[in-house]
Amino acid sequence: MSKGLPETRTDAAMSELVPEPRPKPAVPMKPVSINTNLLGYIGIDTIIEQMRKKTMKTGFDFNIMVVGQSGLGKSTLVNTLFKSQVSRKASSWNREEKIPKTVEIKAIGHVIEEGGVKMKLTVIDTPGFGDQINNENCWEPIEKYINEQYEKFLKEEVNIARKKRIPDTRVHCCLYFISPTGHSLRPLDLEFMKHLSKVVNIIPVIAKADTMTLEEKSEFKQRVRKELEVHGIEFYPQKEFDEDLEDKTENDKIRQESMPFAVVGSDKEYQVNGKRVLGRKTPWGIIEVENLHHCEFALLRDFVIRTHLQDLKEVTHNIHYETYRAKRLNDNGGLPPVSVDTEGSHDSNP
């Protein structure tokens, strides 16, 4: 106590009456609204056009991985998504050919241009996944590949003389193909999504949905959602990354109604009511891929490309890559990684 001030209460009593001050959270100042009509036109709205022009010049990267057993139409679906032969039928074999004993990973790059915008698309196929009698830990090569791409990006980022534009090979989206059994998810499906959902954006899709009736499809979708919830498996879009109420409302609808998307893929065209449509021909008619009454392909396409493509890239960079980066730097005592060989594996740290 300072001299001249009488001590009226004990320190203990004072601490009870006066709680310790806590630092207040920083509250951003509200921007002051300026009536531009009074001041005249400034031109800040042209930033959107500037960004559009820059994107058109440089293009952007998008890397999509497809995972699932052979015969589920992975390559066909990706070709249908991007309306071109972007994915070779790498995961189908002739009877004479030997099925790979381990998961192979094949990345095929393309440049797709539409309306003057260039997209550098890479499709990463995983033939051999889930095709063996013993599939124990068969997700490990895929997890290793995903982490290797983070490592490559990190190595470029910490270089003293780093490139103006770092090549982005990180996996932005993983389409996980579920077999249309109508029963429940296999242990392999659950194990894969449990391990990989922490490092990549997983979007579950039910393949070849035309093999199920509408009732079977609806029941299977509900069962899959319930199983994912029971096992604590988060798929994209993850609840904790919703930025505002609008995002939450939109994404809740996707999570509760659309996921997993029940899809049919086809790169063949047929004539239906005088129009050319992508579809599958059956003895009872044409299943139209882009007809929402037939399947949910159009919902998946709009979701991945037309509404959430940028967000998929941002979640990859701000969440999955940042988590990897923080762990690597922490493991290395805050120092950047030593070196990375051409295969992406890192040398031992000092």
8 Å CB contact between 119 and 62: yes
| Banded pLDDT at 149 (limits 50, 70, 90) | very high
Q: Mean of the pLDDT values across residues 107-132?
A: 89
Q: Is the model more confident about 30 or about 265?
A: 265
pLDDT of residue 315: 96
For the stretch 238-280, pLDDT in tens is 988 888 888 899 999 999 989 999 999 887 888 888 888 888 8
pLDDT of residue 90: 44
| Banded pLDDT at 349 (limits 50, 70, 90) | very low
Across the chain, what does the average pLDDT equal? 83
Ramachandran category for residue 149: left, alpha or beta (phi over 0 → left; psi -120 to 50 → alpha): alpha
- Flag whether the pTM goes above 0.85: no
Rounded CA gap, 56 and 325, in Å?
30
Beta bridge partners of 65: 124, 174
| Banded pLDDT at 125 (limits 50, 70, 90) | very high
| Domains of the chain, CATH where assigned | 61-81+161-262+296-332 (3.40.50.300)
Question: Strands 275-282, 269-272: parallel, antiparallel or unpaired by DSSP?
Answer: antiparallel
For the stretch 34-91, pLDDT in tens is 555 556 788 888 988 888 888 777 888 999 999 998 889 898 888 888 877 776 654 4
Q: Please state, in angstroms and as integers, the Cα–Cα distance from residue 56 to each residue in 18, 123, 259, following that order.
A: 60, 21, 32
Rounded CA gap, 284 and 348, in Å?
61
Beta bridge partners of 278: 269
